[in-house]
Structure 1
Amino acid sequence: MNLPRLRTVLVDDEVLARLALRQALASHAEVEIVGECGNADEAMQLVQALQPDLLFLDIQMPGMDGFGLLHELSPERLPLVVFTTAFAEHALRAFDANALDYVLKPFAQARFDQAMARVLKHWQGLHAGHGPLAEQPAAASAGSGYAQRISVRSGERLHVLATDDIDWIRADGNYLHLHVNGARFLHRDTLQHLLAMLDPACFLRIHRGIVVNLARVAEIHPLFQGNAEVVLRDGTRLTLSRRFRVGAMAALGLRRSAPARA
């Protein structure tokens, strides 16, 4: 597979650390360093201007730290991320932030190459199916323009979920809880962005932070003040807010009760 080079930005407040990164990357021809900077504010500007594919990111920097930077960046164009730091205690939080890897300073070339192998494997996965042989059998499903699958990181694993298998979704800031066949996956994205990818004929927003798969809806129970309760086939009970009730009634084929005649 002929992959494009990874356009890469280095973010570290220490000049020597950025030099060490350049030296470690020298043997990786698949990487093109397009920029470097020393703090999160500059990094945000570079990411917005250059839209890199890969970010080598220090954690502890003056002002905003690396985690703060990821929180501020738009999930619509979030680069692949490898954290580079001298502090091992941040490792768990780094993977929670969906980083591909976490490399300790000073860099050992063998460990760095291992991280790059992981990056390249993910990069290949992102480009899998873009060739002409893969496009033809996928044309029927891709013709709708809506996502058929979503990749979700869990620890060091990447789960590929079919969107049809999602039962319901709950938003939590810049993260989403995807409920799939009794399991729950934490996915870094906004509800608004994911909704734009999902088929509106299959997924319905019933609350400011809740979306359901219409195929999973079993019952609707009216509540007070125009609200209602949506019961899914697995017994999950979710609130249908008054704000979204009209759209839900149309999507579910419901009609308002007609007034009784004398």
Structure 2
Amino acid sequence: MHSKERPERVRTLVVDDEPLARSNLIVLLGLHPEIELVGECGSGAEALSAIRELKPSLVFLDVEMPECDGFDVLEMLGRDLPHAVVFVTAYDKYALRAFDAGALDYLLKPFDNARFERALDRAKEKITQGRSSPRARESLVVKSAGQVSFLKVSEIDWIEASDYYSCLHVGTKSHLVRRSMAELDQELDQSIFCRIHRSTIVQLDRVRGLKLNEGGEYDVVLNNGTRLRLSRRYRAQLQSRLGSPGSWSES
């Protein structure tokens, strides 16, 4: 008699600079056999290394940490973002920014077991969906003037963060979608799109070249003349995607 195949366990990392807070989360996670605790970290810098090395699907991430906070961790991870991130903090002032950064949920300390269970259930559901449909997005749902339509992502020139939405620029038109930049960065085809700033994503085929601005930094110039700020953090990534620096137009 063959035994049933065991479901894949959820690789989970706990990040908090307070040892007691980490211990509490680890105890709660230990009640779930489907959770595999792959590590715990006491700082944002440790979290960056651990996430890239251990590749957890789920991360419980503290917001306020010295030197490198939870938002810095998400921003610097780029394409290494886990499937699900649950922010954990004692301060409710970060809630909206957490969701804008792509967090799945937001646990406000002190939280009870029932609230933790709801967050964990949401995370497991999202991870299961991601495993079953890992393909990059080909279209986005756009709501405008009471109508719902599907926009092909291949038509998008560039994307910018707009408060708690993202603004899709398509020719002379723009569309707001209730998606964070972090979510879009994860879901869009990385052979077509590239992040050039924490608030900006461009379609590579639309890039004409680079141009120095008055501050001595580079702007990305699109075929339609639009100029977008290029962050130093993303310059190397754009360079590798477009080719050697010598092939860039800087005029």
Distance in 1, Cα, partners of 2:222 & 2:129: 42
Distance in 1, Cα, partners of 2:209 & 2:7: 40
57-66 vs 23-32, which moves further? 23-32
Which amino acid letter does the alignment assign opposite residue 67 of structure 1?
Answer: F
2:67 counterpart SS class = coil
Which amino acid letter does the alignment assign opposite residue 178 of structure 1?
Answer: L
Identify if the C-alpha distance between structure 1 residues 189 and 26 changes in structure 2 by more than 3 Å, giving closer, same or farther: closer
Partner in structure 2 of residue 6 of structure 1: 10
User: How many angstroms does 1:17 deviate by?
Assistant: 0.5
Which amino acid letter does the alignment assign opposite residue 15 of structure 2?
Answer: V
Q: Does 1:204 align with 2:208?
A: no
User: How many angstroms does 1:165 deviate by?
Assistant: 6.8
| Residue among 60, 76, 85 paired with 2:64 | 60
For normalisation by structure 2, the TM-score amounts to 0.61
Do 1:20 and 1:107's aligned partners in 2 also have CA atoms closer than 8 Å? no
Q: Does 1:184 align with 2:176?
A: yes
User: How many angstroms does 1:150 deviate by?
Assistant: 6.5
Partner in structure 1 of residue 248 of structure 2: none
Distance in 1, Cα, partners of 2:75 & 2:227: 29
1:59-79 deviation per Cα after TM superposition (whole angstroms, max 9, x unaligned): 111221111111111x21211
Alignment of 1:56-205 (within 5 A): 56-73=60-77, 75-79=78-82, 80-129=84-133, 147-149=136-138, 163-164=152-153, 166-170=155-159, 177-179=167-169, 182-185=174-177, 186-188=180-182, 194=188, 196-198=190-192, 204-205=205-206
Which amino acid letter does the alignment assign opposite residue 87 of structure 1?
Answer: Y
For normalisation by structure 1, the TM-score amounts to 0.59
Runs of at least 5 residues in structure 2 that lack an aligned partner in the other structure = 142-149, 194-202, 211-220, 229-251
1:98 counterpart SS class = coil
Distance in 2, Cα, partners of 1:228 & 1:53: 35
Do 1:207 and 1:239's aligned partners in 2 also have CA atoms closer than 8 Å? no
Distance in 2, Cα, partners of 1:151 & 1:4: 30
Bigger CA radius of gyration: 1
Identify if the C-alpha distance between structure 1 residues 228 and 52 changes in structure 2 by more than 3 Å, giving closer, same or farther: closer
Alignment: residue pair count: 188
User: How many angstroms does 1:204 deviate by?
Assistant: 2.6
Alignment of 1:34-45 (within 5 A): 34-45=38-49
Identity over the aligned pairs, expressed in percent?
Answer: 38
2:32 counterpart SS class = coil
Do 1:170 and 1:178's aligned partners in 2 also have CA atoms closer than 8 Å? yes
User: How many angstroms does 1:23 deviate by?
Assistant: 1.6
Which amino acid letter does the alignment assign opposite residue 36 of structure 2?
Answer: E
Partner in structure 2 of residue 138 of structure 1: none
1:188 counterpart SS class = helix
Which amino acid letter does the alignment assign opposite residue 82 of structure 1?
Answer: V
Identify if the C-alpha distance between structure 1 residues 58 and 240 changes in structure 2 by more than 3 Å, giving closer, same or farther: closer
1:117 counterpart SS class = helix
Where has structure 1 moved over 6 Å in runs of 4 or more?
A: none
Which amino acid letter does the alignment assign opposite residue 168 of structure 2?
Answer: L
Identify if the C-alpha distance between structure 1 residues 16 and 148 changes in structure 2 by more than 3 Å, giving closer, same or farther: closer
Runs of at least 5 residues in structure 1 that lack an aligned partner in the other structure = 131-141, 153-160, 210-226, 231-237, 242-262
Which amino acid letter does the alignment assign opposite residue 79 of structure 2?
Answer: E
Distance in 1, Cα, partners of 2:130 & 2:46: 27
1:134-164 deviation per Cα after TM superposition (whole angstroms, max 9, x unaligned): xxxxxxxx8xxxx453789xxxxxxxx7645
Distance in 1, Cα, partners of 2:40 & 2:222: 52
Distance in 2, Cα, partners of 1:104 & 1:148: 32
